Amino acid sequence: MLICIPDVLGPEQVSQCRQVMDKAHWQDGRMTAGPQSASVKNNMQLPAASPEARELGDIVLDALGRNALFLSAALPLRILPPMFNRYGVGQTFGVHVDNAIRNVPGSATRIRTDLSCTLFLSEPDEYEGGELTIETAYGANEVKLPAGHAVLYPSTSLHCVQPVTSGARVASFFWIQSMIRDESPRSMLFELDQTIQELQGERGLDDPASVRLTGVYHNLIRHWAET
């Protein structure tokens, strides 16, 4: 399941993030990659422990906590603190799959990476190339979204960032451990929740069918959830 989430950040928040990033010190992105990923990774990242990364991460996490579509699709249990990368001309990240387990910086906590998320912070016309290409059962999907929009996809997917040929691509990226480990039931719960919201919009919150379906939704979460 690949889901594009519009307007995670508004224009003012994107502008605030960009101002912080413009003044920050960047490091070689390979410093946070494993041996296989490092061989195909060529970008820059904000150090995860830097004040700038922490400030920007708080902005992103606060926005995600208020985004109904993200919460419905991800059913998050834990979110790794957001990280931030930059691709200049000639930089790319070849085909790879994300690590199954990630350590939370500065703690002993580890999370299982069920879902990957990229939040775009550059407008598409600011750079050429740089598409996030995600392999799915139905073929490759190229994703290049407006600033403030995000894409959520399974961490099991092979994916890459195409070479940037002009300008610069900046984004936030992070991983989510969902309460629902398996993609299939998580997708069904998402579709059920979206259907319930449509019915409530058409018939009102007290519609008997919506109430019954809401009960089914929560009982399925009780059955499948890991907490």
Tell me the two tokens of residue 109. 């906590």
Write the CB contacts of 86 (distance below 8 Å, at least 6 apart in sequence).
21, 26, 43, 44, 45, 168, 169, 170
Query: Is the Cβ–Cβ distance between 6 and 120 less than 8 Å?
Result: no
Closest C-alpha among 143, 152, 78 to residue 115: 152
Q: Kindly state the percentage of the chain with pLDDT values over 90.
A: 89
Residue at token pair 């990923």: 37
Q: Which two tokens stand for residue 16?
A: 């605030």
Report the distance separating Cα 90 and Cα 106, nearest Å.
32
* Cα→Cα distances 222→114, 162, 210, Å: 19, 40, 18
> According to the annotation, is 98 in a ligand binding site?
yes
- The answer to the question of whether 169 is labelled as a binding residue is yes
222 is an annotated ligand-binding site residue: no
> How many CB atoms within 10 Å of residue 14?
22
Residues 180-202 pLDDT 10s: 999 999 999 999 999 999 999 99
Q: pLDDT per residue over 43-76, tens digit each?
A: 999 999 999 999 999 999 999 999 999 999 999 9
Task: Give 185 or 34, the one with higher predicted confidence.
Answer: 185
Cα 163 from Cα 93, distance rounded (Å): 8
Q: Would you place residue 227 in the very low, low, confident or very high pLDDT band (cuts 50, 70, 90)?
A: confident
User: Residue 34 in 3-state DSSP?
Assistant: coil
What band does 105 get if pLDDT is binned at 50, 70 and 90? Answer: confident
Nearest residue to 60 via CA among 143, 137, 174? 174
Task: Tell me the pLDDT tens digit for each residue of 126-183.
Answer: 999 999 999 988 899 999 999 999 999 999 999 999 999 999 999 999 999 999 999 9
What is the number of other CB atoms lying within 10 angstroms of the CB of residue 130?
26
Which residue type sits at 101? I
Provide the residue type at 16 as one letter.
Q
- Tell me: is residue 96 an annotated ligand-binding position: yes
More confident residue, 32 or 88: 88
pLDDT of residue 39: 84
